[in-house]
Structure 1
Amino acid sequence: MSDPMPIDGRASGQGRVFQTGGDQYIEEHHHHYGAGTGSLLAPQSVGPRPPQGAAVPDSVRVPLVGRAPGILRDRADLMERLRAAVTGPGGDVHVLHGLGGCGKTAVAHTLFTEAVRDHGRVGLWVNASERISLRAGMLAVAGDRGATTGELAAAAGGQRAAADLVWHYLDHSAQRWLLVLDNADDPTVLEEGGWLRTSPLGTVLVTTRHATSPLWRGAGSARHPVGVLPEADAAQVLCDLAPDAGTVESAQKVARRLGCLPLALTLAGSHLSHQLLESWSMDEYDRKLSEDSTALVDQGAAGTGSGQSRHLVGRTWQLSLDALAGQGLPEATTLLRLLSCWAADPVPLSLLMPVARGEVDFGHLDPPLAADRVEPALRGLLDHSLIGMVEADGRRCVQAHGVLLDSVATGVPEEQRAALAEAAGQLLEAALPPEGSVSAEARAELRLLTPHAFSLLRTAPGESAARLAAHAARQVLDAGDWPGALAMSRAVADMAVRSLGGEHPVALDVQDVLGRALLRMGHFHESEATHRRVLETRERVLGPDHPDTLRSCFGLNQPLDVLDRDEEAEQLLRRAIEGQRRVLGEDDAETLTSRAQLLEVLAELRKEDEFDTEASAVVEACERALPPDHLTTLLARHLMGYGLKEFGRYAEAEPVARRTLADRTRVQGADHPQTLSATFLVGFVAHALGKRDDAIALFRRLIEGRTRILGEEHPTVALDRALLARWEAQAQP
């Protein structure tokens, strides 16, 4: 086949010459914008005729949202900044970013209404969630601002640059305007077509879950985080929607359970106000939430509407996860499911480091979570506002909203639940400080991790999770957070008994922790009953010489000692010591702890000779057999000083007591309850030796610390106050 004959041609004015080597479809449009504007020549379409665009939305003058707020709560500062932008000179882009359901669209809707009603602005509202809806909406904006049918048809058909057409008419609008680009959760939708621009005639407001897109950093852009509501405002949202359902106090309980998330509050209030068959109060609704919060809240959603998935708590997060999967980050779903096994409290990034370093293999999860995908998955979740970065106890953490975690956990496929729970437990166990760790760093780590251990037990009840939670509760007790240990051990014991049975070793172990926490918090009779029940069960199930049974003998002796039943306490301790020497060994830490505890009982039984012999022996044994600063050694010296005080040998007691206080302060910290107990001992001995000013100063510090940690109602606080008052009265001239 010969080459086609060349064609020579010239054009003048607005003429054009086209040359082609085959049959082609060629179309050209000329658009004239009036005098002084010249003409824009649309790009030629060479090839098959392009498809037409999406249908024009019904309106861009009315916010097409599923549920508009009657009253916007809390956002006063944000609204002032946005009002100033709308009434100002224009040319700005304002980005509202935050978690799905936090009320970004509600803020935009309120601003839109005010701009039109109060400030004479033209309000233009476009759904920017997808390319098709954005394109159709923006072309409708151009039509609203004066574009002709032919121009719109050419842009919709792909024969001219659609974004240029829209912004030409926005730049030449006869009226000032506010343009809302709602639900722009994928910023590339705006970026690829050049849709996000500025104009001196108006203000652009974008709502998005994507917090960190480079697109938001352009000139004239301002970012505004939108978070959950303060509790008082959240409760008022419920009262606005369901004023007859209960008191403000009841509404606060519901709001707290829902994490003050505006979407959840709106759905809950709608459900309460539109019930037909039942009429729940706020308190009844709060009780129902404990059964299935996500499913219950979603009953308040409207039954119709094409965008309903955005108005369902149980569905709204999936939109972001689907977007991340589409961007090549399916692991983000696995990571968020892993986080849903834990609590809504801050999660230290160190908890995830073993996965990122490849030390733990999570390839069995679905989708697999490989080491090199942890960082991108985290960034994806942050970018889409599914998690946030926070700092807690000086550590970098991530945190997700409780309702989000609840709904994500509900959506985990049944066949994956066990693997996720195992993975979550494995990471927690590796992160918990070693047994007996008392450093400030270990205590801070423990404060962050224990809520997640308890949450894992609630999410996946079973022996492994119960053992982990029991271990964490014991560490909390040893760390000196006695109120926290009591609350956690009560809850863990209840769940462990329900899931494993009252005679399971793990259930008995956590009840032992509960008994000790009850003792520390002054519930002496309840502590005795708990320890006695555990001892009897362990004797029957494990046998009289099992280490756990002997541990229960030690545990029961303590409340008996406080309740002045010293003879029985002595018998139990001697039984523990004899069995531990035989089963664990003479130099075992538990054996030495029981021997140290015997010093207190001997002192109270006035067995001074035996006390003197045993005190020297046990302190020497601890110093020989245990590492320096071991807590058992500190206990032995502490109780040696206590015994000397009880026998009235204050001069001997003083150096022992002062060393104990110095050691406990250095090892356990000034605010540890046992350090405060050593403060009591030093203060009492100092007063007995005539050092009254020193004693009064120590007791004032003691009472302040104990009140802060243990509360005003703790029995020892009352005794401390009475003793200090007597000393101060005696010191009066």
Structure 2
Amino acid sequence: MREPGHIDGRASGQGRVFQTGGDQYIEEHHHHYEPGAGPLLESASTAHRGMTAPDSVRVPLVGRAPGVLRDRADLMERLRAAVSGPGGDVHVLHGLGGCGKTAVAYALFTEAVRDHGYVGLWVNASERISLRAGMLAVAADRGATTGELAAASSGQRAAADLVWHYLDHSAQRWLLVLDNADDPSVLEDGGWLRTSPLGTVLVTTRHANSPLWRGPGVVRYSLGVLPLDDAAQVLCDLAPEAGTADSARKVAQRLGCLPLALTLAGSHLSHQLLESWSMDEYDRKLSEDSTALVDQGAAGTGSSQSRHLVGRTWQLSLDALAGQGLPEATTLLRLLSCWASDPVPVSLLMPVARGEIDLGHLDPPLTAGQVEPALRGLLDHSLIGMVRVNGRRCVEAHGVLLDSVAVGIPRGESEPLAEAAGRLLDAALPPEDDTSAEARSELRLLVPHASRLFHMAPAETTAQLAVRVAQQVYEAGEYAVALATSRTIADKVQQLLREGHPLVLSAWTVVGQALFRLGRYAESEALLRKVLESRERILGPDHPDTLRSCVALFFPLCLPGSEEEAAYWLRRAIDGQRRVLGEDSAETLFSRVTLLEVLPQLGDAEKFDEEARVIEDCERFLPPDHLTTVMAHHDYGDGLRVFGRFAEAEPVARRVLADRIRLQGHDHPLTLAELSLTSRVAHGLGDLDKAISAVQELIERRERVLGPEHPFVVDNRAELARWQAEAQP
């Protein structure tokens, strides 16, 4: 007799004994394998969970593998050494989607299997289901039995422990690639990421800052875009008949040297049937819609996965961020797409973070407390990077990424985003009268973003902002940048608005002023005359803009032989400004100060002394250290020099040089004008050593700032030669 509730049974062969108390419902599934056949992972349990084993873990699950891996030699050497060494480490390749992480992993995998006889194991780690199924397939490959796998699949045995048990007892050394581990929590949950003395683990991920990557035995590698020449060679590898190396460089530069974009572009060029574009033609087409055009090459990659489309790959990361409770990261990236791929100062976003500018009306909303988490999320997923430019913290995103994001902005959100981007740029601009070195540095960072915003959202408001930025860049002494920027803006503003629109004429004025400062006097005069004629016809002779054009035309005319006409336009401006703006306005005072520049050339010493009282007016009506007052002292000192009054000019020149350095820095073009004045005054006083030393420094600085062929530099070299000849005994 057995005690009540006690059941005792035995089984043999394929039999099973079930022991239970109470009523139970039992369902059993039997799977039979022929001797030597590999186990099938898709048991009833795994099928119920929706987990299907991959077709293979011995073959890399990639689309089109690169024939040649470009510019990864140093990285490959380090990884080869890791694989062929004692093992036991985890190596993490992290970087922007499309930068070639999987291509590096594929190359290392191939070499390890082919050259070293290692077992190569490849698992898709993008999702929990694919990771679990792939890792159990790894366990099966390394010798796990059917029963063990079924128990792990059904949750009766710790799956990760089973996998790593068999990896730790493998008869052969191995390389395990965990590809696309863009959500590190997938690896963390269950403890899938471990080390073993018998092999090496290589992880590819967009997530740069997971705590998982900071553990013992983990080595991180940041992967970026390719150098230009290597990027061009990728295109030539894929489409050798499409164009020259120079043409390939142009396309590569347009695509930001991103490996995925290059691969898709090369594939498109090499698989055309109805058309046969050259690389030059492809480059022109890219300006119309880079993302859509590049994605046409996806069909030639041998993969239909969405992550192989440039236009889709970023969305995977944004979807992941939204799933983590950061949908505002999408709004922040869309906002960044309104600006250029150049570094964006973090200070641009501070008004939102402080609550000074409210972007809660955007979809999803971006409010004060969400800026920091959104930035961190974009950084963690390698969608942006942090860089320092001239001591300023900046964020930077790839150009192709920004193009893709901009194209995907919903129609109703484009205008609010552009408006927000414009408000933030406007708030970041230094005061218009600030031409300090710090302000110039800030402006250099903002110029490309104002231009991009105007290109992305052409409207009168964005045009006005772009012209204002170009004008401030000119005032800050960045003449070459001002010329390039203002010319592009002027052309586009003219297309957007009518030819005689005041904003169009303002843009062309900046072009004319920059041409003058760069020594292109004839071009400057012709353009500024045209602007003056248009303003007189459209706005009238006494409009402030017309009077400003009179002053602007003065400068290219104030050359030997044209002094009388230059003085005429300047006096006309002064008369009009006194009537329209007032005697003590900053613009009237500027024009009166400028008159001090031409009177010595006309030889009118009496009028010069009379007009010099403008210095007192500047000091009375303008704020301390106003640049018009500094200019007044300069023009007065230079006039004293022209009239041979060197002893009077010397302390003035010294003072103005010190003021320029203090207010605008050592290398501002106007500071260099003061250095020129001090050298000439020293020469007039007979101090040849000081004069020669000063002009030598001046030449060196002006060559760097204005270029070696600028007329000022040519004149300075001639002066130096004369003065050195004078100094000879």
Q: TM-score range by the shorter chain?
A: over 0.9
Contact 1:349 1:398 in 2 (8 A): yes
Return the alpha-carbon distance in structure 2 between the equivalents of residues 20 and 421 of structure 1. 70
Question: 1:229 is paired with a residue of what secondary structure?
Answer: coil
1:724 maps to: 720
The structural deviation recorded for 1:303 is 5.5
Return the alpha-carbon distance in structure 1 between the equivalents of residues 533 and 364 of structure 2. 48
Return the alpha-carbon distance in structure 2 between the equivalents of residues 328 and 566 of structure 1. 69
Contact 1:73 1:233 in 2 (8 A): yes
Question: 1:437 is paired with a residue of what secondary structure?
Answer: coil
2:449 maps to: 452
2:267 maps to: 270
Q: Give 1:19-38 correspondences, 5 Å limit.
A: 23-25=24-26
Residue identity in the other structure for 1:623: E
Q: Count residues with an aligned counterpart.
A: 710
Question: 1:352 is paired with a residue of what secondary structure?
Answer: helix
Q: Of 309, 323, 338, which aligns to 1:326?
A: 323
Q: Of 382, 389, 413, which aligns to 1:416?
A: 413
The structural deviation recorded for 1:154 is 3.4
1:650 maps to: 646
Residue identity in the other structure for 1:712: P
What does the per-residue CA deviation read over 1:295-347, in whole Å, with 9 as the maximum and x for residues that have no partner? 12112212686653121111110110111111111100000000000011111
The structural deviation recorded for 1:455 is 1.1
1:369 maps to: 366
The structural deviation recorded for 1:8 is 5.5
Pair 1:710 & 2:712 matched: no
Return the alpha-carbon distance in structure 1 between the equivalents of residues 291 and 172 of structure 2. 45
The structural deviation recorded for 1:11 is 8.8
Once structures 1 and 2 are overlaid, which stretch shifts more, 290-299 or 63-72?
A: 290-299
Residue identity in the other structure for 1:285: Y
Q: Closer, same or farther in 2 for the Cα pair 1:522/1:170, shift >3 Å?
A: same
1:675 maps to: 671
Q: Closer, same or farther in 2 for the Cα pair 1:13/1:579, shift >3 Å?
A: farther
Return the alpha-carbon distance in structure 1 between the equivalents of residues 185 and 302 of structure 2. 26
Q: Of 295, 298, 301, which aligns to 1:301?
A: 298
Return the alpha-carbon distance in structure 2 between the equivalents of residues 630 and 620 of structure 1. 13
1:527 maps to: 524
The structural deviation recorded for 1:109 is 0.3
Residue identity in the other structure for 1:507: V
Q: Give 1:155-554 correspondences, 5 Å limit.
A: 155-302=152-299, 307-554=304-551
Contact 1:98 1:211 in 2 (8 A): yes
Question: 2:71 is paired with a residue of what secondary structure?
Answer: coil
Note the residue ranges of structure 1 that are not aligned, 5 or more in a row: 1-5, 30-44
2:604 maps to: 607
Question: 1:57 is paired with a residue of what secondary structure?
Answer: coil
2:123 maps to: 126
Return the alpha-carbon distance in structure 2 between the equivalents of residues 716 and 567 of structure 1. 22
The structural deviation recorded for 1:385 is 0.3
The structural deviation recorded for 1:417 is 0.7
1:597 maps to: 594
The structural deviation recorded for 1:440 is 2.6
Question: 2:123 is paired with a residue of what secondary structure?
Answer: strand
Q: Closer, same or farther in 2 for the Cα pair 1:11/1:589, shift >3 Å?
A: farther
Once structures 1 and 2 are overlaid, which stretch shifts more, 465-474 or 247-256?
A: 247-256
Contact 2:563 2:602 in 1 (8 A): yes
1:35 maps to: none
Return the alpha-carbon distance in structure 2 between the equivalents of residues 600 and 304 of structure 1. 67
What does the per-residue CA deviation read over 1:62-121, in whole Å, with 9 as the maximum and x for residues that have no partner? 112011111111111111111111111111111100000000000000000000011110
Pair 1:696 & 2:692 matched: yes
Contact 2:63 2:303 in 1 (8 A): no
Q: Of 576, 580, 583, which aligns to 1:579?
A: 576
Q: Closer, same or farther in 2 for the Cα pair 1:261/1:24, shift >3 Å?
A: same
Question: 2:558 is paired with a residue of what secondary structure?
Answer: helix
Return the alpha-carbon distance in structure 2 between the equivalents of residues 395 and 11 of structure 1. 78
Contact 1:53 1:136 in 2 (8 A): no
Once structures 1 and 2 are overlaid, which stretch shifts more, 502-511 or 179-188?
A: 502-511
Once structures 1 and 2 are overlaid, which stretch shifts more, 148-157 or 421-430?
A: 148-157
Return the alpha-carbon distance in structure 2 between the equivalents of residues 57 and 165 of structure 1. 18
Once structures 1 and 2 are overlaid, which stretch shifts more, 271-280 or 311-320?
A: 271-280
Return the alpha-carbon distance in structure 2 between the equivalents of residues 141 and 223 of structure 1. 24
Q: Closer, same or farther in 2 for the Cα pair 1:682/1:53, shift >3 Å?
A: same
Question: 2:219 is paired with a residue of what secondary structure?
Answer: strand
What does the per-residue CA deviation read over 1:98-157, in whole Å, with 9 as the maximum and x for residues that have no partner? 000000000000000000011110001111111221122112111111122333333334
The structural deviation recorded for 1:694 is 0.4
Note the residue ranges of structure 2 that are not aligned, 5 or more in a row: 31-43
Contact 1:53 1:157 in 2 (8 A): no
Residue identity in the other structure for 1:127: N
1:686 maps to: 682
Residue identity in the other structure for 2:637: G
The structural deviation recorded for 1:493 is 1.0
Q: Give 1:14-163 correspondences, 5 Å limit.
A: 23-25=24-26, 51-163=48-160
The structural deviation recorded for 1:24 is 4.8
Contact 1:52 1:158 in 2 (8 A): no
2:34 maps to: none
Contact 1:9 1:17 in 2 (8 A): no
What does the per-residue CA deviation read over 1:629-688, in whole Å, with 9 as the maximum and x for residues that have no partner? 111001111111122222222222222222211211111111110111111111112112
The structural deviation recorded for 1:364 is 1.1
Return the alpha-carbon distance in structure 2 between the equivalents of residues 100 and 142 of structure 1. 29
What does the per-residue CA deviation read over 1:551-572, in whole Å, with 9 as the maximum and x for residues that have no partner? 1111111111136322221111
Give the TM-score, by structure 1 length.
0.93
Question: 1:501 is paired with a residue of what secondary structure?
Answer: coil
Residue identity in the other structure for 2:727: A
Once structures 1 and 2 are overlaid, which stretch shifts more, 263-272 or 624-633?
A: 263-272
Question: 1:96 is paired with a residue of what secondary structure?
Answer: strand
Contact 1:317 1:386 in 2 (8 A): yes
What does the per-residue CA deviation read over 1:158-212, in whole Å, with 9 as the maximum and x for residues that have no partner? 4432222222211111101000010011111111122111111111100000011
Once structures 1 and 2 are overlaid, which stretch shifts more, 325-334 or 500-509?
A: 500-509
Q: Of 625, 634, 637, which aligns to 2:633?
A: 637
Contact 2:54 2:134 in 1 (8 A): yes
Once structures 1 and 2 are overlaid, which stretch shifts more, 142-151 or 491-500?
A: 142-151
What does the per-residue CA deviation read over 1:481-526, in whole Å, with 9 as the maximum and x for residues that have no partner? 1111111111111111111222222222121111111110111111
Return the alpha-carbon distance in structure 2 between the equivalents of residues 493 and 626 of structure 1. 32
Give the TM-score, by structure 2 length.
0.94
Return the alpha-carbon distance in structure 2 between the equivalents of residues 503 and 381 of structure 1. 44
Question: 1:167 is paired with a residue of what secondary structure?
Answer: helix
Return the alpha-carbon distance in structure 1 between the equivalents of residues 294 and 561 of structure 2. 54
Residue identity in the other structure for 1:502: E
Contact 2:528 2:549 in 1 (8 A): yes
Pair 1:659 & 2:671 matched: no
Contact 1:51 1:157 in 2 (8 A): no
Question: 2:395 is paired with a residue of what secondary structure?
Answer: strand
Residue identity in the other structure for 2:414: R
Return the alpha-carbon distance in structure 1 between the equivalents of residues 702 and 482 of structure 2. 16
Q: Closer, same or farther in 2 for the Cα pair 1:598/1:157, shift >3 Å?
A: same
